[in-house]
Amino acid sequence: MKIEYSLQFLADKTGGTLLGEAGKKIQGVGPLEAAQEHEITFAGGGRYLKKIKDSRAGAIFVPMEVEVSGKNLIQVKNPQLAFAKVVELFHPFPLPSPGISDKAVVGSDLRAGDDISVGPFTTLGDRVCIGNGSILHSNVFIGDDVTIGDHSIVYPNVTVMGGTLIGNRVIIQSGTVIGSDGYGYVADQGRHHKIPQIGIVQIDDDVEIGSCNAIDRATFGRTWIQRGVKTDNLVHIAHNVVVGEDSLIVAQVGIAGSTQIGHHTILAGQAGISGHLSIGNQVIIGPMTGVGKSIPDGEIVSSGTNAMPHRTWLRVQRVIPRLPELQKKVAELQKKIASLEKMTENR
């Protein structure tokens, strides 16, 4: 059966103001340049607003102040957010049937909420607690004493080691490992002896963890991912790290042990954060940036090297080791210039 909604329904659903045909039926969604007469799209601002007149879309979400004659528009505060809500209407999230597969391995004393789903070849350890409506797909490993809250989703091939605490509405993408040992060793007579890692990982509500993340358990206490954090794929978070609420961590970021990340902070791709640092609230760290000292609230830092012709880069590489020597020479020249300027003033 074809799904369709009236424009007035979509405006009401997204809290928008409709300019156009209230009864017009919309049957799908599409991008601004390709959406057809039966589809809805959005134009968030800038150059996209200039394309509205050429769009064939049946309706367009636009910012509150935008009006275009002859077009069906829904004015909203955030066009992209409104569009995302409508995409969910036309493409509802597929839910597996509730129940525990007879091919799953279930340990003792499972505490299961209502309407949970556990896929085939998933392993649940002893004393696992799973909240209402949570979904564990196939080939998931959940260790002993793990708690997972309500309406969380764990995708295939995820490993959650013992003692981990996971909140409500958490999404964990495929291939991620949570609660593996932190990287801790003590040297003695040239050998490295493992330090037992006896802490846990705590993941709060509304967190999304990307594919192939590694989040290490604490040496003592907890590694703590706070509410609303979103991580991209291929992120490593070491033992005893704290990531503040609503922070964004982009692909291939590495955070060393015992570092504290403030709330609403953004770590761009391939940023590397050293251990035992404090990164403030609402900090932005640019791509490929190495951070070796603490950063106060609100700072924007970057150090990634821009692309340049290879021959130029080879020349730059020859200069970099000489920078301390060049700095010293520049300081000496500055002193000589200052001395000459004094002599000139005294004449």
List beta partners, residue 214.
177, 236
- Cα 170–171–174 angle (5° rounding)? 145
C-beta pairs of 182-190 under 8 Å, 24+ apart in sequence: 182/216, 182/217, 182/218, 182/219, 182/223, 182/238, 182/239, 182/240, 182/257, 183/216, 183/238, 183/239, 183/257, 184/219, 184/239, 184/257
Q: Which residues pair with 230 in a beta bridge?
A: 208, 248
The one-digit pLDDT tens for each residue of the chain (347 residues) are: 689 999 999 999 999 999 999 999 999 999 999 999 999 999 998 899 999 999 999 999 999 999 999 999 999 999 999 999 999 999 998 889 999 999 999 999 999 999 999 999 999 999 999 999 999 999 999 999 999 999 999 999 999 999 999 999 999 999 999 999 999 999 999 999 999 999 999 999 999 999 999 999 999 999 999 999 999 999 999 999 999 999 999 999 999 999 999 999 999 999 999 999 999 999 999 999 999 999 999 999 999 888 899 999 999 999 999 999 999 999 999 999 998 988 888 77
Check if the beta carbon of residue 183 is closer than 8 Å to that of residue 160. Answer: no
Beta carbons within 8 Å of 333's beta carbon, 6+ residues apart: none
C-alpha 78 chain-centroid distance: 20
Question: Any alpha helices (H) in 51-168, and if so which ranges?
Answer: 79-90
Q: Which of 49, 72, 90 is the last residue of a domain?
A: 90
- Among the three residues 40, 58, 90, which one is the final residue of a domain in this structure? 90
What is the per-residue pLDDT for 240?
98
Residues 237 and 168 in one domain: yes
Which sequence positions are flagged as catalytic? Answer: 239
Within-domain flag for 50: yes
Residues 277 and 132 in one domain: yes
The answer to whether position 115 is within a domain reads yes
Q: Which helix (H) or strand (E) holds 160?
A: strand 159-160
Same domain, 106 and 197: yes
Q: What is the pLDDT of residue 1?
A: 65
Joined tokens for residue 330: 């520049």
Give which of 79, 77, 23, 73 is closest to 52, Cα–Cα. 73
Structure token digits, residue 279: 């990164």
Query: Which pLDDT belongs to residue 306?
Result: 84
Say yes or no: 65 and 188 in one domain.
Answer: no
- Report long-range pairs for 193-197 (Cβ below 8 Å, ≥24 apart): 195/219, 197/239
Same domain flag for 328 and 275: no
Range of the structural domain that residue 76 is part of: 5-90
The CATH number for 290's domain is: 2.160.10.10
Residue 46: what pLDDT? 86
